[in-house]
Amino acid sequence: MPLLLLISFAFTSQSCAQKPENTADKTRPFLLSESEWKQKLSAEEYEVLREKGTERPYSGEYEEHYEAGVYVCKGCNAPLFSSSTKFDAGCGWPSFYNAIAKSGIREVPDYSHGMQRIEVQCARCGGHLGHVFPDGPKPTGLRYCINSVSLGFVKAEDKK
């Protein structure tokens, strides 16, 4: 009898499960196969978010963007940065002095290209966002240097 109950539960839970993209809970893991990522993202978005590329400086949509709202992950729509923490660092990429929530990002040591840096990833989908540096303004002294192509934007009046 317990085996039958276990099998019944397995089928029920699979049929009731929602894909993370269909849920309002932006904290659930967002897992896709590489072929699904390639279908979801443009070639440039895929290169940056999944292959840890970078866009050219001063070329991104949000580098000189200062509307009120929230910057979200382009891969999974998780809220990442508030426009109230955005500043002009003069580096060619959108810069923020703080994330909305530390739990929304991961900071990972990055030793690529012969440098020691801290990579910033979306905690929900693992997408590469950019890097964080200790040369930002008060109150944090941090500069989250983020690729525009890794971001989406939700205007303040559009948020619900």
CA distance 77 to 33: 17
pLDDT of 159 higher than 70: no
Phi, psi angle pair for 3, to nearest 5°: -65, -45
- Residue (of 50, 48, 52, 23) closest to 35 by Cα position: 50
pTM of the model: 0.80
pLDDT of 130 higher than 90: yes
Class of domain 30-158: mainly beta
Q: Return the structure tokens found at 77.
A: 């729509």
CA distance 137 to 125: 28
The string of pLDDT tens digits covering residues 50-99 is 999 999 999 999 999 999 999 999 999 999 999 999 999 999 999 999 99
Is 122 among the residues known to form the active site? no
pLDDT of 11 higher than 70: no
Task: Give pLDDT, residue 25.
Answer: 56
